[in-house]
Structure 1
Amino acid sequence: MPERGAPLELCASHLMVAYDWVARDVGVTDLLPSPCLACGSRLGVRYPSGWLCAICEWRLGELPDDAASARVDVVYYVRAGDRIKIGTSGNPRGRLAALHWDQLLAFERGGRTLEQRRHAQFAAHRYPGSEWFASNEPLLAHIAALSAGVDDPWNEYARWVSEALALR
């Protein structure tokens, strides 16, 4: 079904494909998901392959040498349209740079076991064969609980990495 008001008679999914086609070369200037680790800027350019800082061209996902040795596994929650992905990574910057998503909703400290528990917890809303879930009240309530008091999930992740480094 064509998207209302779209300049072409395409559904939302096909409009996104066309958008990605153009954006792969020109990028889209927007706020970085977290401050640049190299210069602190919040302004970035998003390409289908990932983010670059608009000021110093640091690639989101690259870590400073001192942070590269600290691994913190997290379960991440990202939104793309009306779908929510629940995934896990020990390198969320690199992982999220490889995905197409609209908004980082929350991080939860934990690895594959916790991710599998969350998949089972929200299984009634899961898109078969994927880690994507239809937006639903129980999942949104869980995400709201995780993000309560957290202004930026990347700051929380940076704190966890800092704690892991301090423990070494």
Structure 2
Amino acid sequence: MPTSCAIDGCRDAVPREAPVELCERHLNAAAEWSGREFGAPDLLPGPCRLCGSRLGVRYPSGWLCAVCEWVHGELIDTELPPPRVDVVYYLRFGDRVKIGTSANPRQRLAAIWHDDLLGFERGDRRLERRRHEQFSDERFDRTEWFRLTDRLGAHVDTVRRGIDDPWDLYARWLSEAVALRG
């Protein structure tokens, strides 16, 4: 049996699947307010110029890329060199993991035979060396390849926690570096 709207003076019926006791008119008003205040997930009108994603958040004032938070339509100064963002990467090939570093991971990873990109950590050669020391028991002699043990797998899971696609994280780091540069 339908109940009436919880708004004083409104006697309209509440839809059966409504999450709160509001009629359709008041649910729509709440949704519009929420979209203005917090944005609404939606596809961007075109790919993000910074990271290429089509996922966006629409506000009355414009769009943000949902991946790297770049303001859609804002120009990128192409005369400036791209920012340098060093990463430590974890690549899986069979039951082995390569721990390496690069300032240009797309180019570097394209040159390495691998099954999966497991994750990125923001860091340079110093962090890479610390990881090599941390997992020295798993290391294949004098290489950057390591046995995929439970211990190394747990570390990769920690690095990847909350990240569906490591490339989205890298795009956000690039976007932050561009924004900080001004």
TM-score (norm 1): 0.61
The match for 2:91 among 78, 81, 92 is: 78
- After superposition, residues 136-155 of structure 1 pair within 5 angstroms as 136-155=149-168
Query: Which whole-Å deviations, capped at 9, do the CAs of 1:8-51 have from their partners, x for residues lacking one?
Result: xxxxxxxxxxxxxxxxxxxxxxxxxxxxx89769xxxxxxxxxx
Aligned position for 2:67? none
Cα distance in 2 for partners of 1:67, 1:141 equals 39
Distance 1:67 1:119, change over 3 A: farther
The alignment partner of 2:89 has SS state of strand
The alignment partner of 1:129 has SS state of coil
Q: Mark the structure with the bigger radius of gyration.
A: 2
Instruction: Report deviation, 1:69.
Output: 1.6
Cα distance in 2 for partners of 1:76, 1:69 equals 20
- Structure 1 stretches of 5 or more lacking a match? 1-36, 42-64
Query: Which whole-Å deviations, capped at 9, do the CAs of 1:86-136 have from their partners, x for residues lacking one?
Result: 000000001001100000000000000000000000000100111000111
Does 2:132 align with 1:116? Answer: no
- Structure 2 stretches of 5 or more lacking a match? 1-49, 55-77
TM-score (norm 2): 0.56
The letter of the residue matching 1:80 is: F
How many residues align structurally? 111
Instruction: Report deviation, 1:66.
Output: 7.1
Contact 2:139–2:147 (CA under 8 A) maintained in structure 1:
yes
